[in-house]
Chains A and B, each alone.
Chain A
Amino acid sequence: MRPRPTGSAHSGLGEWLLQRVTAVYMGVFVLYFVLRFAIAPIDVYAAWKVWFASVAVRIGFALFFASALLHSWVGMRSVFMDYVKPMWLRFVVQLVTATVLLILALWVAQILLGNT
């Protein structure tokens, strides 16, 4: 028995940092979102639409979803690394996850870019 020689992939720190940076952004964004709606609730479509038309809000949402998807990717990969042992299976589930997350990303892009 010996440690598996994984070579120095140098990706550990990057992913780890990414996970934390995205987490912090999402936390701040959600806090802002909740406060915004707690102070002045929006309950009619027109107002919602107007609010959403703002470029700042859209960028905020864009970053939020980008963070969420990246955070999901790192998190899910971590889960697979722990529990999915056969390499081929891990490859498959990671591929599926990546594809789904990419599709979601495109979908979000479509929502945020359209509907002006």
Chain B
Amino acid sequence: MEHISKRPVYLNLFKIRLPIGGVVSILHRVTGVFLVLLLPPAIYLLQQSLQSAATFESTVRILGSLPGRALLLIVTWMFVQHLYSGIRHLLLDVDIGVERTTARRSAWLTLVVSVVTLLLIGLWMT
């Protein structure tokens, strides 16, 4: 039985081609984990904004600063990507768009639309 336990497994994720649906799915997961990690700072900001006029001002100032805005944009992208791919998964769950070609298209669509959303928000912020 020795040779059985030593059997190699081919699972080189750099060699296995991930279809676009898989890319969107893993992005959904990664952004999800990041968004969870962002929960404490978000709650902290909410608390600060409500505490007093001074803390509110500083919160707005932090968010309005250049690094603040950049960070906000990244977070926004994560959020909308997670949101759109989430909507896509919801639709797939109820049997909408599960054909191979439509699923590919909708995967691309989430990527495109989240970038477009990001641009719109970016424009609105400036």
Q: Which A residues contact B (CB, under 8 angstroms)?
A: 20, 23-24, 27, 30, 38, 43, 45-46, 48-49, 52, 65, 68-69, 72, 75-76, 79, 104, 107-108, 111, 115
| B-side interface mostly | helix
* A76 and B60 in contact, given A23-B90, A24-B90, A111-B46 (Cβ under 8 angstroms): no
Do residues B43 and A75 form an inter-chain contact, with CB atoms below 8 A? no
Residues of A near B2 (CB, < 8 A) are none
In the complex, how many angstroms separate the beta carbon of B9 from the nearest chain A beta carbon? 13
Q: Does B86 contact A (CB under 8 A)?
A: yes
Q: A27-B87, A72-B36, A76-B33 are in contact. Are A20 and B50 (CB under 8 A)?
A: no
Report Cα–Cα, A24/B124, bound state, in Å.
25
**6 closest Cβ pairs, A-B complex:** A45-B56, A45-B53, A72-B36, A115-B50, A111-B47, A75-B32
What number of B residues sit within 8 Å (CB to CB) of A?
25
